[in-house]
């Protein structure tokens, strides 16, 4: 039982404690050289006075490569990897910020403090008597402009199908970090909310992470913890003076070990595509009950995806899993500035049709994250009409149907060249994910594509 390491991307209604995120839990559950999917439901507590608890659904996209890894909201690059120690560079999403909804009275009239993306470096050391993790994080997108140093000690305990990891974490937070989230600026001060500048301080946390082997592939996950904030945070007029609990429950499925990128069986897949916006909802479009691209704006997309097969013939079935990253360009037809969109997804392909030996046919379904340089026009228009917010970061779904060009024209050389159609779908998962800003809405584009292997 080893571990995977860290990955990127995402915003919330009410943050979990900074010391009790998903990273250690996923690190505990993950298997080396594997890919997986899952979800975690967390009870979102917040240190702010009179803020209500909320529920947050966190989609888990997990991948462990030779040099790159993905852990839900953390993406990293392995600089050094040995059995007992490792050194990584990573980007990580910071689970802090004001609630998106039901703003407590103590925050009324204040400028919103937003979640952030941190860049960091981590060193891990593994011994039979415990795990030692040291991390340094600094603001990467100029949100809080601060930094944090974390040290965690944990022990792995096994009891049959049960696996436990009790952990203690100490975090030294800079003045800029604490003051951004828990300070009160002079212009925000009121008779009941005096101005306050938070200095640097040290937080600590106790957490218990656990998972249960439901089967060889399925695992139930959980975490329970308490964080005690420094006096610099607790003295803030915005904060409740008490320990902050955290609770997470979820499930994860492991596809199995993948082939290294250098393996001959893992060629590079390149896909070119183009399409138009549709006013069809996702399910009718995905089930071929709606296929109109007649919209008032006639906006379009063009894109390039690059990927590799991660796992072939899962459990002996005609089912493969692949990983893709890509860039998509929005053509807003002169109605506003065009923008780019970055997509990352894990995708399943099923090819077990009776005719697939004669004409290879695949049904694919991808799931991942999408980050837009500018919120697409169709999303801004539809969300404004409904009185809802927008988000640059959303969940991404990509169902496809394709056939082999070589099999259609009788060319063996083109057997692995696929022609197909798909749906590019951005969604906030019906407003259930604080990670995605509790967005209820998104966009759909119908597209055609050509994919080949290199």
Is pLDDT of 205 > 90?
A: yes
First to last CA, the chain: 35
Question: Alpha-carbon distance 295 to 297, whole Å?
Answer: 5
pLDDT (average), residues 321-328: 91
pLDDT (average), residues 426-430: 80
Is pLDDT of 345 > 80?
A: yes
Question: Alpha-carbon distance 252 to 60, whole Å?
Answer: 8
Round the average pLDDT of the chain to a whole number and report it. Answer: 86
pLDDT at 120: 95
CB atoms within 10 A of CB 34: 19
pLDDT (average), residues 289-311: 90
Q: Is the backbone of residue 438 left (phi > 0), alpha (psi -120 to 50) or beta?
A: left
| Both structure tokens of 6 | 């860290």
| Both structure tokens of 359 | 């004409």
Question: Alpha-carbon distance 97 to 11, whole Å?
Answer: 8
CB atoms within 10 A of CB 159: 7
| Both structure tokens of 54 | 């909320």
User: Is the dihedral angle over the CA atoms 360, 365, 366, 372 positive or is it negative?
Assistant: positive
Is pLDDT of 440 > 90?
A: no
- The answer to whether 70 touches 7, Cβ cutoff 8 Å, is yes
| Both structure tokens of 39 | 């979800």
Highest mean pLDDT of the ranges 19-33, 40-54, 262-276, 307-321: 307-321
Range in 70-74, 419-423, 433-437 the model is least confident about? 433-437
The band of 433, judged by pLDDT with boundaries at 50, 70 and 90, is low
Helix (H, G, I), strand (E, B) or coil at 402: strand
pLDDT in tens, 100-120: 667 889 999 999 998 888 999
pLDDT at 18: 41
Alpha helices in 208-276 (DSSP H): 231-234
Report the C-alpha dihedral over residues 124, 125, 131, 135, rounded to 10 degrees. Answer: -30
Domains and CATH numbers, the chain: 7-257 (2.40.160.40), 268-453 (2.40.160.20)
The separation between CA 380 and the C-alpha centre of its own chain, rounded to angstroms, equals 22
pLDDT at 197: 97
* Residue among 414, 396, 376, 400 nearest 449 (CA): 400
The phi and psi torsions of 405 (rounded to 5 degrees) equal -65, -40
pLDDT at 436: 66
Question: Alpha-carbon distance 98 to 100, whole Å?
Answer: 6
Helices and strands, number each (H, E), in the chain: 6, 22
The rounded radius of gyration (Å) of the Cα atoms in the chain is 23
Question: Alpha-carbon distance 239 to 51, whole Å?
Answer: 10
The residue that leads in pLDDT, 159 or 33, is 159
Would strands 147-154 and 157-159 be described as parallel, antiparallel, or unpaired? unpaired
Question: Alpha-carbon distance 274 to 420, whole Å?
Answer: 11
The band of 260, judged by pLDDT with boundaries at 50, 70 and 90, is very low
pLDDT in tens, 34-48: 778 888 888 767 889
Find tokens 């539809």 and name the residue.
382
| Both structure tokens of 42 | 């967390």
- The answer to whether 307 touches 453, Cβ cutoff 8 Å, is no
Is pLDDT of 228 > 70?
A: yes
Is pLDDT of 351 > 70?
A: yes
pLDDT (average), residues 215-223: 89
DSSP state of 196: B
CA distances (Å), 129 to each of 102, 135, 154, 157, in order?
A: 45, 20, 9, 10
The band of 256, judged by pLDDT with boundaries at 50, 70 and 90, is low
Question: Alpha-carbon distance 232 to 305, whole Å?
Answer: 47
The band of 20, judged by pLDDT with boundaries at 50, 70 and 90, is very low
Per cent of the chain over pLDDT 90 is 52
Is pLDDT of 261 > 60?
A: no
pLDDT at 257: 59
Helix (H, G, I), strand (E, B) or coil at 223: strand
| Both structure tokens of 175 | 């003045």
pLDDT at 417: 96
pLDDT (average), residues 150-178: 95
The band of 437, judged by pLDDT with boundaries at 50, 70 and 90, is low
């Amino acid at each position: 039982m080893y571990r995977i390491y860290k990955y990127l991307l995402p915003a919330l209604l009410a943050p979990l404690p900074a010391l009790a995120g998903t990273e250690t839990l996923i690190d505990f559950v993950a298997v080396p050289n594997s890919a997986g999917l899952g979800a975690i439901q967390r009870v979102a507590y917040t240190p702010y006075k009179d803020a209500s608890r909320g529920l947050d659904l966190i989609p888990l996209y997990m991948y462990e490569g030779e040099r790159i890894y993905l852990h839900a909201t953390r993406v990293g690059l392995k600089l050094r990897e040995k059995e007992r120690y490792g050194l990584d560079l990573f980007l990580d999403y910071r689970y802090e910020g004001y609630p998106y909804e039901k703003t407590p009275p103590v925050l009324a009239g204040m400028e919103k403090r937003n979640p952030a993306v941190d860049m960091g470096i981590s060193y891990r050391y593994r011994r039979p008597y415990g795990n030692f993790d040291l991390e340094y994080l600094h603001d990467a997108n100029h949100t809080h402009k601060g930094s944090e140093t974390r040290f965690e000690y944990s022990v792995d305990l096994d009891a049959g199908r049960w696996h436990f990891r009790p952990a203690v974490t100490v975090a030294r937070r800079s003045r800029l970090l604490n003051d951004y989230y828990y300070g009160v600026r002079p212009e925000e001060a009121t008779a009941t909310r005096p101005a306050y500048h938070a200095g640097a301080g040290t937080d600590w946390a106790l957490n218990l992470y656990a998972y249960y082997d439901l089967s060889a592939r399925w695992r139930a996950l959980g975490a329970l913890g308490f964080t005690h904030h420094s006096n610099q945070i607790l003295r803030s007029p915005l904060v409740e003076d008490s320990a902050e609990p955290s609770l997470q429950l979820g499930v994860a499925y492991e596809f199995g070990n993948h082939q290294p990128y250098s393996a001959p069986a893992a060629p590079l897949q390149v896909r070119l595509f183009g399409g138009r916006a549709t006013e069809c909802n996702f399910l009718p479009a995905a089930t071929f009950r709606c296929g109109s691209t007649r919209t008032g704006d006639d906006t379009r997309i063009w894109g390039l995806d690059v990927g590799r097969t991660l796992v072939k013939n899962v459990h002996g079935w005609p089912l493969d899993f692949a990983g893709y990253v890509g860039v998509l360009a929005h053509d807003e037809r002169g109605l506003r500035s065009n923008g780019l969109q970055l997509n990352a997804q894990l995708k399943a392909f099923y090819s077990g049709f009776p005719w697939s030996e004669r004409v290879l046919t695949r049904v694919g379904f991808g799931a991942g994250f999408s980050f837009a340089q500018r919120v697409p026009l169709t999303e801004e228009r539809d969300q404004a009409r409904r009185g809802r917010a927008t988000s640059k970061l959303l969940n991404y779904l990509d169902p496809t149907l394709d056939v082999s060009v070589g099999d259609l024209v009788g060319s063996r050389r083109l057997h692995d060249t696929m022609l197909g159609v798909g749906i590019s779908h951005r969604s906030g998962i019906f407003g259930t994910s604080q990670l995605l800003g509790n967005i209820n809405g998104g966009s759909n584009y119908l597209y055609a594509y050509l994919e080949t292997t290199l």
